[in-house]
């Protein structure tokens, strides 16, 4: 359809242009050249004109030498006398008039063109809706046969609890009579809730693959289009197809695109098509006509916006949370994705799993793919541990910008900034260990200090949160101590924002303030009732708002001072770490441990120029390092 309309418009304009061309160029005339009227009069008076033909405002003339010209008739009253005096043969004719058909066509062509376009659209829409109602040829649902769905539970890793919840769906699809004898009913619908990339679609495919039934897959956005009634027709057609192939599974991805809460006022007509589609889906899932043998599995990461009627028992009876995998789950997922890659002996999958907290299954698959690309660029036949580490760094810290040129002064300032983060974080109690520090420009930052937890964490203590706030200010404080207040840069803007957000949540949401107490003044999504201008008036009194602001400031100032004390007491260590960053640009946890213990930082694993080892002061023991204190 998108290709037909431009072609239709082009042909119409072409036809119109042809009519105009023939209208104004239909004269088979020998008079082609045009001259000025003054030249024409001179030629007449000089006796060079043999014949003249006057047609309205156009004068066509033929000279004695056979040359033909034309010019414009300005309505000169002496023209005829001049021509007669020069013995010129004068002919006159009325201007050629358009035919009635041509005049009507040119006048009405735009209107006729618009009417034709309108009828074309209406015909296409009616044909499309009719096809949907008759045989579903335009249905966007993809049907996969039993042989096409080859995914099984063995291909699903890292979400064992979710797999256990769907095992009984497989049992029902294989042997429904076992449940029916006891009066049990299998859930009509299963809603999978979880962050993106956690394997919701994969689990749905595995259910179909294990049960050996047909699998219908469609996205929630495929139902809704600009034509009124198309979405509801697609829902009807989808369930009609499913009933003819029962038992089967219908999988609706991103169901929040069509299942959002309906408007209660009834005044908003912009969502009428989506609401009609939702109503039809509700009827199909729990209407008078049964849908035996059909299980609807839907996936979303926004369950809070779904309509209540969609979530009630009888439609989506069960919600399955598919969360981010823990360290054991990440290890299993990595093993699944690494099966296709030849690995060297130094690869330790457990270490990669421990170093990727918060990664989803999709992100782990991307990590393995990036590692394979690194190995291919290096012309290696196997993926080794360094390739996996580089891939992890690329995903977690961003892409290195080798083309970005930094002056030595800017590079050293960045080194002090990142060293400040590292030292404060290293000496704060309960803080996550430092993984890497880099002054290589990456996407969105001139440098980065990455902290990684040693194990999966599901909560944080007050002491740990305050340590994080202190480490966030380490970079700004290091700049100020080395270069002075006048040369502090804007590089700490994101650090300040994150530290302020942590302090605000401690006071207003998590009840970690002794002055405010265990009270919540935050919105559901983490917005503070004090700072959010969209918060309704009257949530907190003026006195409470002032008290909250003062407590947030107190948390910030207390931990800012802690970080400053640590760096003032470890200035030599700050210089040594900045020097190491200037030499190698990136230092890892082992090099950081060397520096913190008073030793020279060992070269990186892939460093070749061992003869150029960095010369740093040596100390016999950690106790000899001046002022190595936690503050």
Is residue 25's pLDDT more than 60? no
More confident site: 42 or 15: 42
Looking at residue 62, the DSSP 8-state letter turns out to be E
pLDDT tens digits, one per residue of 416-441? 998 899 999 888 888 888 888 888 88
pLDDT tens digits, one per residue of 70-99? 887 777 777 777 778 777 787 777 666 556
CA–CA separation, 80 and 511 (whole Å): 106
Catalytic, out of 70, 273, 331, 418: 418
- What number of CA atoms fall less than 13 Å from residue 243's CA on the CB side? 12
pLDDT tens digits, one per residue of 230-277? 778 888 888 888 888 878 888 888 888 888 887 665 545 446 777 888
pLDDT value at position 628? 36
Q: How far is CA 283 from the centre of its chain?
A: 33
pLDDT value at position 133? 46
**Contact call for residues 449 and 418 (beta carbons, < 8 A):** yes
pLDDT tens digits, one per residue of 182-206? 777 777 788 888 888 888 888 888 8
pLDDT value at position 524? 42
pLDDT tens digits, one per residue of 132-186? 444 445 556 677 776 777 788 888 887 778 888 888 778 777 777 777 787 777 7
Spell out the domains of the chain, with CATH numbers in brackets: 28-93 (3.30.720.210), 142-263+271-321 (3.40.50.300), 327-396 (1.10.8.60), 408-624 (1.20.58.760)
pLDDT value at position 131? 47
Q: How many CB atoms lie within 10 A of CB 68?
A: 14
pLDDT tens digits, one per residue of 481-515? 988 888 888 888 888 999 999 999 999 988 888 88
What are the start-end ranges of the E strands in 245-322?
Answer: 248-253, 294-300, 318-321
pLDDT value at position 9? 59
The three-class DSSP label of residue 3 is coil
409 is catalytic: no
CA–CA separation, 94 and 269 (whole Å): 61
Helix ranges restricted to H, 428-535: 462-472, 474-483, 493-508
pLDDT value at position 562? 92
Note the pTM of the prediction, 2 decimals: 0.63
Confidence of residue 106 (pLDDT cuts 50, 70, 90): low
Q: What is the mean pLDDT of residues 127-132?
A: 51
pLDDT value at position 624? 42
**Contact call for residues 91 and 52 (beta carbons, < 8 A):** yes
At a CB cut-off of 8 Å and minimum separation 6, what does 147 contact? Answer: none
Confidence of residue 17 (pLDDT cuts 50, 70, 90): low
Kindly state the percentage of the chain with pLDDT values over 90. Answer: 8
More confident site: 20 or 49: 49
Most confident of 156-170, 526-540, 570-584, 608-622: 570-584
């Amino acid at each position: 359809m998108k290709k037909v309309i431009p072609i239709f418009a082009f042909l119409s304009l072409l036809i119109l242009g042809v009519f105009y061309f023939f209208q104004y160029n239909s004269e088979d005339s020998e008079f082609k050249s045009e001259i000025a009227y003054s030249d024409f009069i001179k030629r007449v008076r000089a006796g060079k004109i043999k014949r003249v033909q006057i047609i309205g405002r156009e004068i066509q003339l033929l000279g004695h030498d056979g040359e033909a010209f034309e010019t414009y008739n300005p309505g000169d009253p002496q023209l005829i006398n001049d021509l007669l005096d020069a013995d010129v043969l004068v002919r006159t004719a009325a201007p050629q008039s358009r035919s009635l058909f041509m005049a009507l066509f040119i006048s009405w062509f735009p209107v006729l063109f618009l009417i034709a376009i309108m009828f074309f659209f209406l015909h296409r829409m009616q044909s499309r809706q009719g096809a949907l109602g008759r045989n579903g040829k335009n249905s966007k649902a993809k049907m996969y046969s039993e042989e096409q769905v080859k995914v099984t539970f063995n291909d699903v890793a890292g979400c064992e609890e979710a797999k256990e919840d769907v095992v009984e769906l497989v049992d029902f699809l294989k042997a429904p009579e076992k449940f029916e004898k006891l009066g049990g009913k299998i859930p009509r619908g299963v809603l999978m809730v979880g962050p993106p990339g956690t394997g919701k679609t994969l689990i749905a495919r595995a259910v179909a693959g294990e049960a050996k039934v047909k699998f219908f897959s469609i996205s929630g956005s495929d139902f809704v289009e600009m034509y009124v009634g198309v979405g509801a027709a697609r829902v009807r057609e989808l369930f009609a197809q499913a009933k003819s192939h029962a038992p089967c599974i219908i999988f609706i991805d991103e169901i929040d695109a069509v299942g959002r809460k309906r408007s209660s006022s009834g005044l908003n007509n912009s969502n009428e098509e989506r609401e009609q589609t939702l109503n039809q889906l509700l009827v199909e899932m729990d209407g008078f006509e049964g849908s035996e043998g059909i299980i609807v599995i839907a996936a979303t990461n926004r369950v809070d916006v779904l309509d209540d009627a969609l979530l009630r028992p009888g439609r989506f009876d069960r919600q399955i949370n598919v969360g981010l995998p823990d360290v054991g789950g990440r290890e299993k997922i990595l093993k699944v994705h690494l099966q296709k890659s030849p690995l060297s002996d130094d690869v330790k999958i457990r270490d990669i799993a421990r170093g990727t907290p918060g990664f989803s299954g999709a992100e782990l698959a991307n990590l393995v793919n990036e590692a394979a690309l690194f190995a291919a660029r290096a012309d290696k036949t196997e993926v080794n541990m360094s390739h996996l580490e580089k891939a992890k760094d690329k995903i977690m810290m961003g892409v290195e910008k080798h083309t970005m040129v930094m002056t030595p002064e800017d590079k050293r300032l960045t080194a002090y900034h990142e060293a400040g983060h590292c030292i404060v974080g290293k000496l704060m109690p309960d803080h996550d260990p430092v993984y890497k520090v880099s002054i290589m420009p990456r996407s969105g930052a001139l440098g980065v200090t990455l902290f990684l937890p040693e194990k999966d964490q599901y909560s944080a203590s007050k002491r740990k949160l305050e340590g994080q706030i202190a480490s966030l200010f380490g970079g700004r404080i290091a700049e100020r101590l080395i270069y002075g207040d006048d040369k502090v840069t804007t590089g700490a803007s994101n650090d300040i924002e994150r530290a302020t957000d942590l302090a605000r949540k401690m006071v207003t949401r998590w009840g970690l303030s002794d002055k405010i107490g265990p009270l919540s003044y935050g919105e559901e999504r983490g917005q503070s009732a004090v700072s959010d201008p969209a918060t309704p008036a009257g949530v907190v009194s003026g006195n409470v708002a002032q008290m909250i602001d003062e407590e947030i400031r107190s948390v910030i100032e207390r931990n800012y001072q802690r970080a400053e004390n640590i760096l003032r007491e470890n200035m030599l260590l700050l210089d040594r770490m900045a020097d190491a960053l200037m030499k190698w640009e990136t230092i890892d946890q082992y090099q950081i441990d060397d520096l913190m213990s008073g030793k020279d930082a060992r070269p990186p694993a892939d460093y070749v120029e061992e003869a150029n080892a960095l010369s740093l002061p040596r100390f016999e023991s950690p106790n000899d390092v001046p002022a190595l204190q936690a503050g």
